[in-house]
Structure 1
Amino acid sequence: MAFRQRRERLRSILNGSTCIRPGSVYDPTSIRIAEDLGFELGMFGGSVASLAILGDPDVTLITLTELAEQMRRMSRASTLPVVVDADHGYGNALNVRRTVQELEAAGAAGLTIEDTLLPQAFGIVEPQLISLEEGIGKMKAALDGRSDPSLVIMGRTGTRGGGAAASSFADCLARAKAYDATGVDALFFTGLTTRREVEAISAATTLPIVLGNTQGELDDAAFLRSQRVKIALQGHTPFAASTQAIYDTLKALREGTRPKDLKGLASSELTGRLMREADVKARSGAFLGLKKP
């Protein structure tokens, strides 16, 4: 499937009447699992990207090249549309422009650009925000870097995100309205926690809303739909689950458990399906003259 078709599917979600929960993906196998299970959308988060690629925490050590290459691997493996957490765009507004170009070429259906000051400043414990004016410049640069108009650009604000970055709700509202006016395709929020906040954002803006947190009183699909929330994340538990499974398996092997006695392993049928083994065998026959055994 061409990249544009994937982006149009994401736009259909943003223009639709429902609120969907994306699957957290981070490599070719996880995205194929999400696709096969029927997820409409994948979310490639910055924290899981850092873990999957570097094994490091989410402290902006990953590079744009590493992020884009991982997205390219997933794009090759699956046709599932993916939204990429592009953090702060890896620098200033000009870097943001290049970030958009690289992720567009890698097959992302959409991406988020945020207004958090990254990497973390020296001597400052809590996360900081860039100015509203710089944030607006980044959103405009992101739009300017887009060559495929179907690529979805989401403006994300770190306000209400916890710690010192969680400035007043008035600041959050002002940034939301300003980013809405730049022409981005959707607004992304991670720190909204009450219905009152979501209602205020919805009333003050016009764009589709994406939420990174829907716990507590926000865990209500009907309410989210009524407030123009089109995508609601549900964390990155698949990576945590896979980490625990690998740890338990290696621990059991180290302690003397025989491979045949291990529990919870993927069947050969499931593994073959995720490898698209039938397709590979068909191509081997058509192009290499290999007969089926």
Structure 2
Amino acid sequence: MAFRQRREALRAILSGSSCIHPASVYDAISIRVAEDLGFEVGMFGGSVASLAVLGDPDITLITLTEIAEQMRRMSRASVLPVLVDADHGYGNALNVRRTVQELEAAGAGGLTIEDTLLPQAFGEAKTQLISLEEGVGKMRGALDARGDPSLVIVARTGAASLTSLDDAIRRARAYEATGVDALFFTGIKARTGLEAIAAATRLPIMLGGTPEEMSALDYLGGQRVRIALQGHAPVAAATQAVYETLKALREGIPPKSLKGLASSELIGRLTRDADMKSRGAEFLGIKK
């Protein structure tokens, strides 16, 4: 029931009239920070997962098991709805079914399935797309695997920057016809392109990054965009902070002289220390 409430909250965003920016989240602490700051939804990106879980670049080395386990950790830590970048579903349409089942069980609010050919084909430097027919099969497989009807399934295409805007619209309309809940576009660089997509489709829209000329939330909301990503700055900031802290310690700076560390009050709040102490008193007889 708790997972369904998160998914219904995500659906309320998609059925609303405004566009929001999600929080880029990747572990238990980052999602609690996002929840405490009032973000409505989290986005667990594939590139962030590769960095946080493997320390590898975003070349589809991460597995479904690793993605699902990290999502499970975040689900335990927070009630914030999370959209998971499930890449290509880790295989063909049958693998997509397994991906949906695992991420649903892990507590994802929703997930995106893209029509990129992954992993990259032998000898091909340029990113490629799978056929429209295979893409449709993946979306149908995703919907068929869904056990909780409130789980959000989002069809994603990068055709606008890889083939053409017309191809992006053609693919989006075909995916829309399968019954997915929203459409996710990457590579939209101008208002004319977004407006053409909005005119040709009916479902809520997600965007993976927007140029400055089309970044205003009011404008995006008017084009039926409900979620607009802003990249993944938090994990980059965290990586830089860890690097600088370890570098300073390695160079002999004493811990008490370090700058920019989280306060004990912030750590206590994010770890829900007060709740743990209350439970300790109630169940273990530990005095506060």
Instruction: Name 1:245's counterpart in structure 2.
Output: 241
Work out the CA distance in 2 between the residues paired with 1:64 and 1:30: 21
**Matched length:** 288
Work out the CA distance in 2 between the residues paired with 1:290 and 1:54: 39
- Residue 220 of structure 1 and its aligned partner are, at CA, apart by 1.6
Which 4+ stretches in 1 moved above 3 angstroms? none
2:190–2:211 Cα contact (<8 Å) kept: no
1:16 aligns with 2:12: no
Work out the CA distance in 2 between the residues paired with 1:225 and 1:75: 28
Instruction: Name 1:140's counterpart in structure 2.
Output: 140
More deviation, 214-223/144-153: 214-223
1:20–1:231 Cα contact (<8 Å) kept: yes
Work out the CA distance in 1 between the residues paired with 2:75 and 2:226: 23
| Equivalent residue for 2:283, pick from 261, 281, 287 | 287
Q: Which amino acid aligns with 1:83?
A: L
Deviation digits for residues 240-266 of structure 1 (CA, Å, limit 9, x no counterpart): 000000111011111111100111100
1:1-293 alignment runs, 5 A limit: 2-161=2-161, 166-292=162-288
**Structure 2: gaps (5+ residues):** none
2:249–2:255 Cα contact (<8 Å) kept: yes
- Residue 160 of structure 1 and its aligned partner are, at CA, apart by 2.2
Could you tell me the TM-score, scaled by structure 1's length?
A: 0.97
1:24–1:238 Cα contact (<8 Å) kept: yes
- Residue 288 of structure 1 and its aligned partner are, at CA, apart by 1.0
Deviation digits for residues 116-166 of structure 1 (CA, Å, limit 9, x no counterpart): 0001010001111100000000000000010000000000012124xxxx1
1:193–1:216 Cα contact (<8 Å) kept: no
Q: Which amino acid aligns with 1:158?
A: G
Give the 3-state SS of the residue equivalent to 2:58 in structure 1.
Answer: coil
Give the 3-state SS of the residue equivalent to 1:206 in structure 2.
Answer: coil
Give the 3-state SS of the residue equivalent to 1:160 in structure 2.
Answer: helix
Work out the CA distance in 2 between the residues paired with 1:286 and 1:45: 39
How much is the aligned-residue C-alpha RMSD, in angstroms?
0.8
More deviation, 142-151/280-289: 280-289
Q: Which amino acid aligns with 1:268?
A: S
Work out the CA distance in 2 between the residues paired with 1:143 and 1:218: 32
Identity of aligned residues (%): 73
